[in-house]
Structure 1
Amino acid sequence: MLVASGICKTYRQGVWPFRRRTKVLDGVSVSLGPGEVVGLVGENGSGKSTLMQIMVGALPADTGAVDVHGSLGFCPQRPVVFERLTCDEHFELFGVAYGMSRDERADAQRRLYEELDFRRYARERADRLSGGTLAKLNLALAMLPDPPVLLLDEPYAGFDWDTYLRFWDLMARRRGAGRSILVISHFIADEERFDRIVELRGGKAFQK
């Protein structure tokens, strides 16, 4: 469903004449098969978010290639929302952007409100939501069109225990439907929930 191969990325840091080059990713390859949940772990600065941004096309790689089969959903670590829009208005806006019909969007919206338990905030503006509810909206917007491939960057940061369990119920149903999921996390406590775990270390990818 998704294959990233030979990904290299170097950043230039500092000012001339003291500018230096730091290689963050050095030939990293990661694959994601149908019905597979893969964890991507690593220390801060290991290149996890950089790799995910390259996978979704938000950042160019220096070398390497990313091949995606089907549409792709992306839940960034920092929510991309509009402060003055309500949750309902976000769903309407993103539904149009995804090319969904009104009925498709409404059905998916109702389901996600129920599955993530935040229907009571439907008419609340984004700038008035708690961090946990904002994280729910961020995840729901990525899942709205039910994409075959879902890339999640620290998706459950800010979730309470009940929402954390709801999250994994959702992922289990997606896995059962043949969807593919990549989850970035600083650390992974529940390894049994993943089919594979890949660790970024020193610019390289290692299978755990």
Structure 2
Amino acid sequence: MAAVRHTESATPTSAEAVAAEPVLRASGIEKSYRRGIWPVQRTRQVLRGADLTLERGEVVGLVGENGSGKSTLMKVLVGALRPDAGTVTVTGRLGYCPQEPVVYERLTCDEHFELFGRAYRMSTDAERASRRALYAALGFERYATTRADQLSGGTLAKLNLGLALLADPDVLLLDEPYAGFDWDTYLRFWDLVAQRREAGHSVLIISHFVADEERFDRLVRLHHGKAVPR
């Protein structure tokens, strides 16, 4: 039986118990895709009992070849895709940055932040303060009133990341987040990740290659449908 459970806060017996408990736990995740039309139909199993945990204040990299199922696992973790089997438990507020930006072409960057702020049930003051901080951190405040369909690929990637960070999530899941970033933005990105680690927040980053292994607390490889330490 498949299940995905998200909770806004833990119900601990002690502060030590909260700190020791993973903020994300995926157990026995299985997922298959069917291709073709009956009677010529094939089933491809992508995930074969994948297990993954994310501890409080940890930065983890999930790596693997193209087609290994990294994005499928990420979608299962955020609840966008239902697994065939397995369970996922997330404690705290979740932020998700998909590989392909999900934006509205006719809305400006400011309007996107306002819309997502309402979806996160943020107060107007909190949303505006977070928005200003993210513009400054990622360096794209001059595009605040620019529509999404007029943004470059790199600036669109900044907006995509900013929307995931807007509500200061406890658990941040990023699917190829720095694709399209220039070197300056790449360094800004890692500064943000380091700040989240220091604040006790957790980050899971999917990438098909890892150039700076020292920036991660650990790496996990998705191989033959299972997550194994690298």
Task: Give the shorter-chain TM-score range.
Answer: over 0.9
Equivalent in the alignment of 2:15: none
Task: State the alpha-carbon separation in 2 of the partners of residues 12 and 119 from structure 1.
Answer: 44
Does the alignment pair 1:172 with 2:194?
yes
Percent sequence identity is: 68
Equivalent in the alignment of 2:54: 32
Which amino acid counterpart does residue 193 of structure 1 have in structure 2?
R
Task: State the alpha-carbon separation in 2 of the partners of residues 15 and 160 from structure 1.
Answer: 43
For residue 173 of structure 2, give the secondary structure of its aligned residue in structure 1: strand
Structure 1's consecutive aligned runs of 4 or more residues displaced over 2 angstroms after TM superposition are none
For residue 115 of structure 2, give the secondary structure of its aligned residue in structure 1: helix
For residue 142 of structure 1, give the secondary structure of its aligned residue in structure 2: helix
Does the alignment pair 1:139 with 2:166?
no
Does the alignment pair 1:94 with 2:83?
no
Equivalent in the alignment of 1:19: 41
Query: By how many angstroms is 1:20 displaced?
Result: 1.3
Which amino acid counterpart does residue 196 of structure 1 have in structure 2?
R
Task: State the alpha-carbon separation in 2 of the partners of residues 122 and 189 from structure 1.
Answer: 31
Instruction: Name stretches of at least 5 consecutive residues in structure 2 with no aligned partner.
Output: 1-22
Does the alignment pair 1:85 with 2:107?
yes
Equivalent in the alignment of 1:58: 80
Task: State the alpha-carbon separation in 2 of the partners of residues 42 and 112 from structure 1.
Answer: 30
Task: State the alpha-carbon separation in 1 of the partners of residues 144 and 93 from structure 2.
Answer: 26
For residue 37 of structure 2, give the secondary structure of its aligned residue in structure 1: coil
Equivalent in the alignment of 1:128: 150
Equivalent in the alignment of 2:25: 3
For residue 14 of structure 1, give the secondary structure of its aligned residue in structure 2: strand
Which amino acid counterpart does residue 154 of structure 1 have in structure 2?
E
Number of residue pairs aligned between Structure 1 and Structure 2: 208
Q: TM-score, normalised by structure 2?
A: 0.90
**Residue among 115, 127, 130 paired with 1:108:** 130
Which amino acid counterpart does residue 179 of structure 1 have in structure 2?
H
Q: TM-score, normalised by structure 1?
A: 0.99
**Residue among 148, 151, 162 paired with 2:173:** 151
For residue 19 of structure 1, give the secondary structure of its aligned residue in structure 2: strand
